[in-house]
């Protein structure tokens, strides 16, 4: 009986996560277009529903009923595989993400995470590394020059930025003495990591922008010079898969930034429910992503590489060394 | 300073996010009322007795640079020279307003209507009676007014408001 309840709970949590991640892009696209519109003194969607609120639903219906076109010269197997490869990793990663400690429902304590891994951070980086295959295969399989150029750029970009991203969190791991995301948040109950790790946060956030392929690092799509980059040839639901994956990664990077550097569900000043605190912080970072998108131009390819290797990597290594030295000095007898 | 330009850019876009939108929700919510000087669709005027003012002198047809006006005169029962046929080919008209300037009887002018697109250029040849019914010059133009779409009528967008808000004041200049 205990086992059945536990399994049922896990199944429910997983189903809830999947539903949430599939449905969240709807309000996010609406928000993004609305914010874009207002930043450009437009109105954004206004016609479908109140202030265009049903616009994402209309877009969804359009994408579902659109012709699923595969180019004649495309590698059909990889072409079909790529959207799934792009979509699955961000979903899988959320298994390891805690959204809070626990809530009590009907006398039961229900934890707000699917699993509390002791190497959650490692798991996150390992799984999110797979996501690049979706983009690379998608660009390659379409057999279009724009798509190939887009995925070539992505390939180099992802690999370059995963290194500083991985190094940036080492400082956090040193402070928490654990790779479990739950422990990392618990370690920030007093002071948030942003106070000790401003450089780590900076490197992580910039690399996160690049990992999510958002402006100013959206060279993989670069609608100005590559059509639509790696998903130029995709249409209908396969294109929607890439879009959902992009929003899931935006969400994931926001969640990671909050957990690693902004105290997770630890509140400050105002006593709010921990989950609400967490969601508010995540919402702020999602907004920041959208805000950046409509403020900054895209970096040139060589600038992108220069930032990754010449700025972020040395900064993150220096951050590790300095954190280590200070920690060593502080804990020395 | 390091990243100061980034901060400036972000505050600028943030400020714009809360500034007024310049979108004019034409045609089903708002519409631009043209200024009084606007040269839109032609209209023919009537005098106090309701008689058409035009004396069919054909000066407008002569001065028209694109030759889009065709006038055929006749003598009505009072013995006045009037147009039996007064056709303007709107597909060819360039809205220069020379016909208005040339008219000795103050009978033709370019009014405020600008919604007369058509699927067929044949429908754009407008006859005398049609021209008499067209809206005249705008009196209080220059603004955005509430309007609604009307697909049945000749006039596409109907509005009852005479005054509009000045759209230009919405434009933020920094």
Domain map of chain B by residue range?
A: 22-38+138-174, 42-134
For residues B119 and B152, the model is more confident at: B119
Of the candidate CATH numbers 3.40.50.300, 1.20.1090.10, 3.30.70.3270, 3.40.50.720, the domain formed by B42-134 belongs to: 3.30.70.3270
Quickly count: other Cβ atoms within 10 Å of residue A198's Cβ: 12
User: Is the model's pLDDT at B174 over the cut of 70?
Assistant: no
Cβ–Cβ < 8 Å for A150, A139: yes
pLDDT band at A266 (very low <50, low <70, confident <90, very high): confident
User: Is the model's pLDDT at B65 over the cut of 90?
Assistant: yes
The pLDDT score that the predictor gives to residue B158 is 66
Minimum-distance CB partner of B25 among A35, A38, A46: A46
What is the per-residue pLDDT across A229-241, written as a single tens digit (0 to 9) for each?
777 888 888 888 8
- The lowest-confidence range among A82-86, A128-132, B138-142 is B138-142
d(CA B83, CA B131): 12
What is the per-residue pLDDT across B92-117, written as a single tens digit (0 to 9) for each?
999 999 999 999 988 999 988 888 88
Tell me the DSSP string of A80-145: HHHHHHHHHHHHHHGGG----SEEEETTEEEESSS---TTHHHHHHHHHHHHHHHHHHHHHHTT-H
For residues A48 and B150, the model is more confident at: A48
Quickly count: other Cβ atoms within 10 Å of residue A190's Cβ: 8
User: Å from B25 to nearest chain A CA?
Assistant: 9
**Residues contacting residue A35 through CB under 8 Å, at least 6 positions apart:** A44, A287, A290, A291, A294, B17
The pLDDT score that the predictor gives to residue A318 is 92
Angle between helix A313-331 and A145-168 (nearest 10):
20
User: Is the model's pLDDT at A222 over the cut of 70?
Assistant: no
For residues A305-316, give the mean pLDDT. 89
Q: What SS3 class is residue B26?
A: coil
d(CA B163, CA B157): 15
Mutate one of A34, A36, A37, A40 to test the B interface: name it (highest B CB count within 10 A). A40
Cβ–Cβ < 8 Å for A243, A21: no
User: Å from B145 to nearest chain A CA?
Assistant: 17
Residues of A in contact with B23 (CB under 8 A): 41-43, 46
The pLDDT score that the predictor gives to residue A297 is 85
Choose among A14, A48, A13: nearest CA to A30.
Answer: A48
The pLDDT score that the predictor gives to residue B72 is 92
The pLDDT score that the predictor gives to residue B22 is 82
User: Å from B158 to nearest chain A CA?
Assistant: 19
User: Is the model's pLDDT at B155 over the cut of 60?
Assistant: no
Quickly count: other Cβ atoms within 10 Å of residue B70's Cβ: 16
Choose among B107, B126, B116: nearest CA to B68.
Answer: B126
For residues A180-186, give the mean pLDDT. 85
pLDDT band at B1 (very low <50, low <70, confident <90, very high): low
For residues B53-59, give the mean pLDDT. 90
pLDDT band at B153 (very low <50, low <70, confident <90, very high): low
A43 and B14 in contact by Cβ < 8 A?
no
């Amino acid at each position: 009986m205990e086992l059945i309840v536990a399994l049922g709970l896990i199944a429910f949590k997983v189903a809830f996560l999947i539903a949430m991640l599939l449905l969240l892009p709807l309000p996010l696209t609406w928000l993004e277009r609305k914010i874009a519109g207002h930043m450009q003194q437009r109105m954004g969607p206004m016609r479908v529903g109140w202030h265009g609120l049903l616009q994402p639903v209309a877009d969804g219906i359009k994408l579902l009923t659109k012709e699923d076109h595969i180019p004649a010269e495309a590698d059909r197997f990889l072409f079909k595989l790529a959207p799934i490869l792009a979509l699955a990793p961000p979903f899988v990663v959320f298994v390891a993400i805690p959204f809070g400690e626990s809530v009590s429902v009907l006398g039961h304590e229900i934890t707000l995470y699917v699993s509390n891994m002791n190497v959650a951070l490692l798991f996150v980086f390992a799984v999110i590394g797979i996501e690049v295959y979706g983009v690379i295969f998608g660009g390659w399989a379409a057999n279009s020059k724009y798509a190939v150029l887009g995925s070539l750029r992505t390939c180099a970009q992802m690999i370059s930025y995963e290194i500083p991203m991985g190094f940036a969190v080492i400082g956090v791991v040193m402070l928490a003495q654990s790779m479990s995301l739950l422990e990392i948040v618990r370690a920030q109950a007093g002071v948030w990591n942003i106070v000790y790790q401003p450089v780590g946060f900076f490197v992580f956030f910039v690399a996160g922008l690049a990992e999510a392929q958002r402006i100013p690092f959206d060279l993989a799509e670069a609608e100005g010079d590559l059509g639509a980059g790696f998903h130029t040839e995709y249409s209908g639901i396969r294109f929607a898969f890439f879009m959902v994956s992009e929003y899931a990664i935006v969400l994931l990077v926001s969640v990671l930034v909050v957990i690693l550097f902004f105290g997770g569900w630890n509140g400050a000043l105002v006593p709010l429910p921990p989950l609400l605190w967490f969601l508010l912080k995540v919402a702020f970072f999602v907004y920041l992503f959208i805000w950046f998108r409509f403020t900054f131009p895209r970096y040139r390819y060589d600038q992108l590489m220069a930032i990754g290797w010449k700025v972020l990597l040395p900064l993150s290594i220096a951050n590790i060394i300095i954190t280590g030295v200070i920690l060593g000095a502080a804990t020395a007898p | 300073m390091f990243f100061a330009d980034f901060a400036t850019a972000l505050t600028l876009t943030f400020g714009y996010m809360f500034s007024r939108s310049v979108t004019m929700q034409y045609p089903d919510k708002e519409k631009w009322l043209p200024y009084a000087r606007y040269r839109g669709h032609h209209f023919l005027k009537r005098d106090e007795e309701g008689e058409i003012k035009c004396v069919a002198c054909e000066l407008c047809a002569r001065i028209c640079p694109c030759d889009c006006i065709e006038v055929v005169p006749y003598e009505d029962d009072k013995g006045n020279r009037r147009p039996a046929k007064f056709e303007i080919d709107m597909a060819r008209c360039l809205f220069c307003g020379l016909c208005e300037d040339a008219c000795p009887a103050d009978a033709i002018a370019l009014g405020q209507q600008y919604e007369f697109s058509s699927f067929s250029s044949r429908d754009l040849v407008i006859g005398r009676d049609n021209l008499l019914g067209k809206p005249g010059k705008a009196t209080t133009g220059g603004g955005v007014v509430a309007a609604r779409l009307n697909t049945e009528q000749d006039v596409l967008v109907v509005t009852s408001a005479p005054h509009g808000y000045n759209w230009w004041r919405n434009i933020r200049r920094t």
